[in-house]
Copies of this chain bind each other. A is one copy, B any other.
Amino acid sequence: MADEAAVREQAETVRRLKQQKADPDEIAKEVAKLLEMKAQLGGDEGKHKFVLKTPKGTRDYSPKQMAIRERVFSAIISCFKRHGAEVIDTPVFELKETLTGKYGEDSKLIYDLKDQGGELLSLRYDLTVPFARYLAMNKICSIKRYHIAKVYRRDNPAMTRGRYREFYQCDFDIAGQFDPMIPDAECLKIVHEILSDLQLGDFIIKVNDRRILDGMFAVCGVPDPKFRTICSSVDKLDKMSWEEVRSEMVAEKGLCPEAAERIGEYVRLQGGLELIEQLLQDPKLSQNKLAREGLGDMKLLFEYLTLFGITGKIRFDLSLARGLDYYTGVIYEAVLLQQEGQAGEEPLGVGSVAGGGRYDGLVGMFDPKGRRVPCVGVSIGIERIFSILEQRLEASEEKIRTTETQVLVASAQKKLLEERLKLVSELWDAGIKAEVLYKKNPKLLNQLQYCEESGIPLVAIVGEQELKDGVVKLRVVATREEVNVGRESLVEEIRMRTSQP
């Protein structure tokens, strides 16, 4: 049964296809679907049926999912702190004009807020532009910071593959005027550390440089004004075949076929230091100043990465372009590789899990005097990583606890609610993580079952006799062992029995 929201979605699909000048048959099919849905909705447009869901492309996190998410965050934050980063936060929305002109063709994916009077606002599309705005606004010339927060893109969601409209980015950036490629190398080291630490399987980090790309476009005969749009096409090579990309360049973007062919020769190149050396000798590329600069820095980068011992996972790849407009130098993207043994199994979220690069001009776009603050950074995409870990946990036997409760305060007899409340309050005040069932007279069996289900290791049982004797019966859930503990030493006993080894 169609609802109004679905009809609106469908109408949007049709609009988009028309705009993209898609196959007329496909458009006709979607229009038919739209009309059918409208007919279904038909007369009862007034009797609006309530839809119980989260917005398209978003999701809730259950306690179990939060436990996984916090493990991932903890690994990432540890790494960022290991590299001496501070942390900042910015609002979830920015003035609309702050985001204008920063994202090229992706700008259409920005969420705007409704004009309810006052300023025009948009939800942040990434954490990089707000960071640049923050630097310019506070006149900061040098900082190393991380920022973990949700960003918003009105993209076509593919949630099973970890692509959402609301998703987390974990960004680490170094801003400041420094000697070439040292901060850039550290960003790659960080990606390497995090992906190794999370044990997601084999991965590779592709690197390239916008200057090499631009030099390549120039020597291939791409006219200057077409650089950015041709760059967008190259960026699609990870999802589309070369034939499709070439056809987009020529048919849609009006590039001459010879230039496209020449680009095709370059973008299939990938390798390491030896490829850099080869291209530095390339009769055409070596004539281009930008390309020479980019290749020189790429060589330096590989030297530093050798010192860090991580070149084994780094691949210089001329097809890497990255969509965003603001990059000016080195760019990189980490992708997980399909595990060999898994080839036949359902495809885990293989794909890009981190990306970034150098953007030396972005802060200057905000600074009233156009002052430049060179920046380089990396963004870890948590959602794909999270999907993989969630599926892995699902497949394993591991039982994940969602609370940290050390002890349940229970009673075997009736009319002991007051005593339970008194004891649990004492434990809370002593810093013990404790719970009590919210029933006047719960059965002991139910109380023990609650412990089994939620993994609480200890039960503190009060009864008439224990109260008389000034003790509490402490029961170990796993072994059913019971021991009477003097009330004054109960806190110490619980601490001892639940301290991590």
With A and B bound together, what is the CA distance between A309 and B133 in angstroms? Answer: 50
Partner of A116, one of B66, B111, B136: B111
With A and B bound together, what is the CA distance between A438 and B189 in angstroms? Answer: 14
In the bound complex, residues from chain B placing their C-beta under 8 Å from that of A317 are none
A190 closest partner in B (C-beta): B428
In the bound complex, residues from chain B placing their C-beta under 8 Å from that of A134 are 60
A55 touches B402 (CB 8 A): no
Q: Which of A46-54, A325-333, A344-352 participates in binding chain B?
A: A46-54
B166 touches A119 (CB 8 A): no
In the bound complex, residues from chain B placing their C-beta under 8 Å from that of A189 are 425, 428
Is A302 part of the binding interface, using a Cβ–Cβ cutoff of 8 Å?
no
Is A183 part of the binding interface, using a Cβ–Cβ cutoff of 8 Å?
yes
Is A137 part of the binding interface, using a Cβ–Cβ cutoff of 8 Å?
yes
B434 touches A55 (CB 8 A): no
Is A284 part of the binding interface, using a Cβ–Cβ cutoff of 8 Å?
no
Asked if A88 meets B117 with Cβ closer than 8 Å, knowing A55-B93, A183-B438, A189-B428, the reply is no
A3-43 CB contacts (< 8 Å) to partner B: 5, 8-9, 11-12, 15
A81-108 CB contacts (< 8 Å) to partner B: 81-95, 97
Is A324 part of the binding interface, using a Cβ–Cβ cutoff of 8 Å?
no
In the bound complex, residues from chain B placing their C-beta under 8 Å from that of A66 are 86-89
Tell me how far the C-beta of A343 lies from the nearest C-beta in chain B, rounded to whole angstroms. 32
Asked if A438 meets B178 with Cβ closer than 8 Å, knowing A89-B60, A134-B60, the reply is yes
Partner of A11, one of B70, B117, B178, B417: B117
Is A418 part of the binding interface, using a Cβ–Cβ cutoff of 8 Å?
yes
B434 touches A118 (CB 8 A): no
A95 closest partner in B (C-beta): B55
In the bound complex, residues from chain B placing their C-beta under 8 Å from that of A86 are 63, 66, 402-403
Is A422 part of the binding interface, using a Cβ–Cβ cutoff of 8 Å?
yes
- List the number of copies, as a whole number: 2
In the bound complex, residues from chain B placing their C-beta under 8 Å from that of A366 are 50, 52
Asked if A56 meets B119 with Cβ closer than 8 Å, knowing A63-B86, A91-B166, the reply is yes
Among the interface residues A182, A432, A440, which one has the most CB atoms of the partner chain B within 10 A?
A: A182
With A and B bound together, what is the CA distance between A93 and B53 in angstroms? Answer: 12
Proximity bits, A58-90, B CB within 8 Å = 1, else 0? 111111001001100000000001111111111
Proximity bits, A332-344, B CB within 8 Å = 1, else 0? 0000000000000
Is A501 part of the binding interface, using a Cβ–Cβ cutoff of 8 Å?
no
Partner of A50, one of B52, B97, B118, B428: B97
A12 touches B84 (CB 8 A): no
With A and B bound together, what is the CA distance between A69 and B86 in angstroms? Answer: 13
Is A421 part of the binding interface, using a Cβ–Cβ cutoff of 8 Å?
yes
Asked if A92 meets B92 with Cβ closer than 8 Å, knowing A84-B435, A428-B83, the reply is yes
Is A248 part of the binding interface, using a Cβ–Cβ cutoff of 8 Å?
no
B88 touches A62 (CB 8 A): yes
Tell me how far the C-beta of A386 lies from the nearest C-beta in chain B, rounded to whole angstroms. 12
Partner of A179, one of B8, B111, B422, B440: B440
B403 touches A81 (CB 8 A): yes
In the bound complex, residues from chain B placing their C-beta under 8 Å from that of A133 are 52
B90 touches A60 (CB 8 A): yes
Tell me how far the C-beta of A424 lies from the nearest C-beta in chain B, rounded to whole angstroms. 9
B92 touches A166 (CB 8 A): yes
Tell me how far the C-beta of A417 lies from the nearest C-beta in chain B, rounded to whole angstroms. 8
In the bound complex, residues from chain B placing their C-beta under 8 Å from that of A429 are 193
Q: Which 7 A-B pairs have the closest CB atoms?
A: A12-B117, A178-B438, A63-B86, A58-B91, A84-B435, A112-B114, A61-B89
Starting from the known contacts A82-B433, A92-B166, 15 additional A-B residue pairs (CB-CB under 8 Å) come to A5-B118, A8-B120, A51-B95, A52-B136, A53-B95, A58-B91, A60-B91, A60-B138, A63-B88, A83-B435, A84-B403, A84-B405, A182-B421, A307-B418, A308-B421
